[in-house]
Copies of this chain bind each other. A is one copy, B any other.
Amino acid sequence: MTTVYSISELAQEFKVTPRTIRFYEEKGLLSPGRKGSVRVFSSADRIRLKLILRGKLIGFSLDESRDIIDLYEPETTNNRQLESLLDKISEKQLQLEQQKKEINTMLKDLKKTEAICLSALSQR
């Protein structure tokens, strides 16, 4: 008995609206099952939604998130495709490393500003 979710269950869990989830389906980022006309989400669908939202959080567009998610599910079978997939993975890794650097820079700058504030406060 595999776990399934309704649209509103997932919406609640991830603090988005059902509209958002339907929109993701419309855009081809999700393809839940159907029981009649009603959407039925599997755990795999849930994970995909999680990945989409994670991507969103770190500034990826839905298209970019789809790219990444597709990387995780290689239905790719021949070597040429596998190699192009590896290329894309490397590219995404570089991009993510770059973002980490930017974040670290920002954190440093914030620490500086924080220190200035603190010394200003301690000085009355």
Which positions in A face B, CB cutoff 8 Å? 54-60, 68, 71-72, 74, 76, 79, 82-83, 85-86, 89-90, 92-93, 96-100, 102-107, 109-110, 113-114, 116-118, 120-121
From DSSP, what is the main secondary structure of chain A's interface residues? helix
**Measured between alpha carbons, how far is A116 from B82 in the docked complex, in Å?**
10
Contact assessment for A113 and B71 in the assembled complex, using a CB-CB cutoff below 8 Å: yes
Residues of B within 8 A of A58 (CB): 58-59, 99, 102-103, 106
Tally of this chain's copies: 2
Complex CA–CA separation, A109 to B96 (angstroms): 12
The answer to whether A102 touches B59, judged by C-beta atoms less than 8 angstroms apart, is no
B74 near A116 with CB under 8 A, answer yes
